[in-house]
Amino acid sequence: MVLWSPNDLTQITETKNLYIGLQIGLLIAISLFSLFIAFASLSFSYSYYSGYVLGLTLLTASIHGVSFRYLWPNWPIMQQYIFTFVIPLTLGFSLMFTEKVLQLKYHNLKMLRICRVMAFMAFSLAAVMPFMPYSSAIYILVFVVLTVSTILVTFSLIQAFVGQRNATLYAIGRIALLVGCIMTGLLYLGLLKLNIAPHVPTMIGLTCEVIIMAGVLALRYNDERKAKFKIQRTSTGTSTTN
């Protein structure tokens, strides 16, 4: 327990609210921008990424109590069900995004099948988990999230070692989130002592991952644009020759 003076408590509260507002605002901005690009370019990659970031935004807002305060203040039971629904749903979008951004259809069909099976399982969990006891559902989701995160880090590292440029940045983002999740788990178990709230490392890792993934998508979009421009130039040159 900590005893704060009124001035110190006000300063701490304002700083905390500023941090929360900046994080949620950043996630909303990235998700809306990605959604706009998805509609403009009809890109599945941006669609899945937008769904992933929107899920993370809702999850972050719910963790900090912002969703309960502004979205469903009269439905306190939503706080119990929102996590068991949004976490697997977000995980499903993350897996579908991974399939696209790592271009597994062209580089590794085995990884592609694994991602699709895990995505199907994640969406199935989103439909089933809200009907399970909360304590059991949370333990299952922690295991699933850590397992899937580890698998995706492994996939990205393998693709990075074979020379896929996007996979290197993707791996960095995934590792940042995984390290944050591990630190949060250690803080909750009491195996790590830091003067911060247990969920802070995960939130920091999550924000870093989202920003890095936005960079990965930007690189991929640029590569696709260059490839289309090259094809157009080739077609134009062929037509002129004929």
DSSP assignment string, 146-195: HHHHHHHHHHHHHHHHTT-HHHHHHHHHHHHHHHHHHHHHHHHHTSS--S
Percent of the chain, pLDDT > 70?
94
Is 3 inside any structural domain?
no
Is 241 inside any structural domain?
no
**At 61, is the pLDDT very low, low, confident or very high (cuts 50, 70, 90)?**
confident
Mean pLDDT of the chain: 82
* Buried residues in 65-89 as b, exposed as e (16+ CB within 10 A): ebbbeeeeeeeeebeeebbbbbbbb
Rounded Cα distance between 154 and 51, Å, is 23
The pLDDT score that the predictor gives to residue 236 is 67
Q: Which domain holds residue 183?
A: 16-227
Is 2 inside any structural domain?
no
Q: Note the pLDDT tens digit of each residue in 82-141.
A: 888 998 999 999 999 888 888 888 888 999 999 999 999 999 999 998 888 888 888 888
Please tell me the total count of domains within the chain: 1
Q: Is the pLDDT of residue 11 over 90?
A: no
Arithmetic mean of pLDDT, 24-50: 83
The pLDDT score that the predictor gives to residue 102 is 86
Q: In the structure encoding, which two tokens stand for residue 154, read together? A: 């492994």
Is 173 inside any structural domain?
yes
Q: Which residue has the higher pLDDT, 183 or 199?
A: 183
Arithmetic mean of pLDDT, 24-31: 84
Q: What is the DSSP letter of 198?
A: T
Q: Note the pLDDT tens digit of each residue in 169-187.
A: 888 888 888 888 788 778 8
Is 38 inside any structural domain?
yes
Rounded Cα distance between 223 and 17, Å, is 39
Is 11 inside any structural domain?
no
Arithmetic mean of pLDDT, 10-20: 77
Q: Which residue has the higher pLDDT, 232 or 34?
A: 34
- Model pTM score: 0.82
Is 207 inside any structural domain?
yes
Arithmetic mean of pLDDT, 48-70: 85
Is 1 inside any structural domain?
no
Distance separating the N- and C-terminal Cα atoms of the chain: 82
The dihedrals phi and psi of 65, each to the nearest 5 degrees, come to 80, 5
The pLDDT score that the predictor gives to residue 78 is 81
Q: Is the pLDDT of residue 239 over 60?
A: no
